[in-house]
Amino acid sequence: MQENFAVLVVRLLEKAEKILKEYPLCNSCLGRLFARHGVGLGNYERGLMVKTLLAMKLHNDYAKGVADRDSLKVLAAHAGDGIASMYRKLFSEDVAVDSCYLCGGKLGRELVERIAGDVCVKLKEYGASKFLIGVTISNEVLGKELELIIKHGVESSESIKREIKREVGKAVMALCNATPQFSSPEVVLIVNLDSTFNYEISVQSNPLFYAGRYRKLGRRISHIPWYTETGVKKYPLSVQEAVERVFKKIFEAEEVVIHAAGREDVDTRMVGSGRPVIVEVKSPRRRGVDVDALRLLVEGELRSLNVPVELRITSTASRGLVTLIKEHSKRKRKTYRVVIYSQEGIEVSELKRLEEFFENREVRQRTPLRILRCKKDRVRARKVYTVKTLQVSDKVFEALVLCEGGLYVKELVHCDDGRTTPCFAGILGKALIPIELDVIYVEE
C-alpha cells in the first residue's frame, strides 16, 4: 500500500514538473489538474502541496547533480512560492514569477469572494434564498486548459468552470446564509467571465406556481386576450389579463400565465365554486409571499380593478401540476346551468321526458360547427349523468346538466345540425335555443 502511494507521488511530481517547465501556473490552476487526488482539499491547497513537494524533490535533485541552475530558474519563474524561495536561497538571486498561463493570476480567494458578494446582492434583490450558480468562461481560457490537459495526458483534472461554481457557491453560503438547490432553485445566477476574468452576473428567476380557483361573473369575457385578424381586440377583458395585472404588480414579474382545467366560452359565466387553475409567475423579482397573505392581496387587487373576475389562491403548486390539471380536466365532471328557449312552447311532461332520457346517457358529438375552423373534425363520446329541469315560463326552461368534461352543452341543446346525438331538440322534436349558460361546478 505504501509502495503504491509512493509510486503515485513520484508520478504526480514528475507530471507536475513537466507541466511547470512549459507553463506558469498558480496554485489553483495547478491543483485543479490533480483534483482527483486528495478528498476534501481545495485546489489552491492541493496546488500548494504539489509545489512544496516538488521543491523538496528539486532540492534533492540539485544536491545530487541531477538538476541544473537553468532548469530550476525556469521552474521557479513558473511555479513561484516554495520553488522560487528555494532558488533565491541557493543562488542569492530573485526570480520574477510569471503570471498564470490559464487565469493570469486572477483566480483566487479575492475574486471568489467578490463574485459571492455580488451574488448575495442579487439574491437580496430577488428575495431568494435557494440558488444555483452557473459559469460561462471565455473560449480562449477553455481552449488553453484543454490544450494543456491533452498535451500532457492529464487524467485527474476538473474544469475551471466547475471549480469556480463550487467555490462561489460555498462562499455565497457562508456570506449570506443562502442554500444551494440543484433540483429546484429559486434563481440561477450565471457568472460570465471573459479572458481577463472580468465578469458580469445574469439572473434567471425561476417561475412561481400557485393553485386556486377562479370565477368569471360576467359574460363577453374571454379566457385569454382575443384579437381579430386585423389586430383589433375583440373583447374588452380576459381572465388572463385580469390575473396577469394583479400578479405582475405583486411579484414584479415579467409575465404571468394561467393554466386552467379547461375553459368556458366567452358568453358563459364561471360561477359556483370556480374553475381550478394554476397561475405561473415568470421571472419574478419578488418572492417569499405567504400563501394566506397572497390570497388577501390578490382578492383585494382584483376588487380594486372593478372587474367581474375573482380568484382565490389555495396553495403553492409546481410545474408538474400544470400537466396534471390539464390532462385530468378532459374527463372531470362538470355541472352546467343552461336557460333554453322554445318558440313552440314547452310542457312539463316534455321536461320530464328529458330528465328520464338523459339519465346516464352517452352522447356522441362531432366537432361543433362554430369551432370547426380551429379544431379538427372528429367524433367524441361523452357521458351525461343527469339532467334536472325547471319551467320558467311557457317558452323558457332551465336545465342543470351534470356531465363528463369535454361535452359541448350548447350543442347538446340544439343538435348542431345533427352533429350531436342524442340531443334535447331531437328528443322533443322541436327547435331549442340556449340563451344563457353558466358553469356552476368543476370537479377537483
Residue extents of the structural domains in the chain = 5-91, 109-205, 208-329, 333-442
Helices (H), ranges, 80-209: 81-91, 109-125, 139-151, 160-176
Q: What distance in Å separates the CA atoms of residue 150 and residue 142, rounded to the nearest whole number?
A: 12
By the 8 A CB rule, do 43 and 31 touch?
Answer: yes
Residue with cell 328529458: 354
List 265, 290, 416, 438, catalytic entry: 265
By the 8 A CB rule, do 420 and 388 touch?
Answer: no
Q: What distance in Å separates the CA atoms of residue 25 and residue 366, rounded to the nearest whole number?
A: 73
Backbone angles phi, psi at 227, to 5 degrees: -120, 150
Query: How do 379-391 and 309-316 pair as beta strands?
Result: unpaired
Question: CB-based contacts of 243: which residues, under 8 Å, 6+ apart?
Answer: 214, 256, 258, 279, 309, 311
Selection from 355, 361, 356 nearest residue 385 by Cα: 361
pLDDT at 149: 96
Give the distance, in angstroms, between the CA of residue 87 and the centroid of all CA atoms in the same chain.
Answer: 55
pLDDT at 231: 83
By the 8 A CB rule, do 84 and 27 touch?
Answer: no
Instruction: Kindly report whether the peptide bond that precedes residue 422 is cis, defined as omega within 30 degrees of 0.
Output: yes
Q: Please give the chain's pLDDT, 444 residues, in tens.
A: 445 878 888 899 999 999 999 999 999 999 999 999 888 889 999 999 999 999 999 999 999 988 899 999 999 999 998 899 999 999 999 999 999 999 999 999 999 999 999 999 999 999 999 999 999 999 999 999 999 999 999 999 999 999 999 999 999 999 998 999 998 899 999 999 999 999 999 999 999 999 999 999 999 999 999 888 888 888 999 999 999 999 999 999 999 999 998 889 999 999 999 999 999 999 999 998 999 999 999 999 999 999 999 999 999 999 999 988 887 777 789 999 999 999 999 999 999 999 999 999 999 999 999 999 888 999 999 999 999 999 999 999 999 999 999 999 999 999 999 999 999 999 999 999 999 999 999 987
pLDDT at 216: 97
Q: What distance in Å separates the CA atoms of residue 241 and residue 222, rounded to the nearest whole number?
A: 10
pTM tops 0.75, yes or no? yes
Q: What distance in Å separates the CA atoms of residue 291 and residue 277, rounded to the nearest whole number?
A: 15
Q: What distance in Å separates the CA atoms of residue 217 and residue 298, rounded to the nearest whole number?
A: 16
Q: Where are the beta strands (DSSP E) in 186-308?
A: 187-193, 199-205, 208-216, 255-260, 269-282
Helix pair 69-79, 43-63: axis angle to 10 deg: 170
Q: Is 62 helix (H, G, I), strand (E, B) or coil?
A: helix
By the 8 A CB rule, do 206 and 188 touch?
Answer: yes
By the 8 A CB rule, do 333 and 403 touch?
Answer: yes
Backbone angles phi, psi at 104, to 5 degrees: 65, 20
pLDDT at 1: 44
By the 8 A CB rule, do 86 and 54 touch?
Answer: no
Active site residue 265: yes
Question: CB-based contacts of 177: which residues, under 8 Å, 6+ apart?
Answer: 129
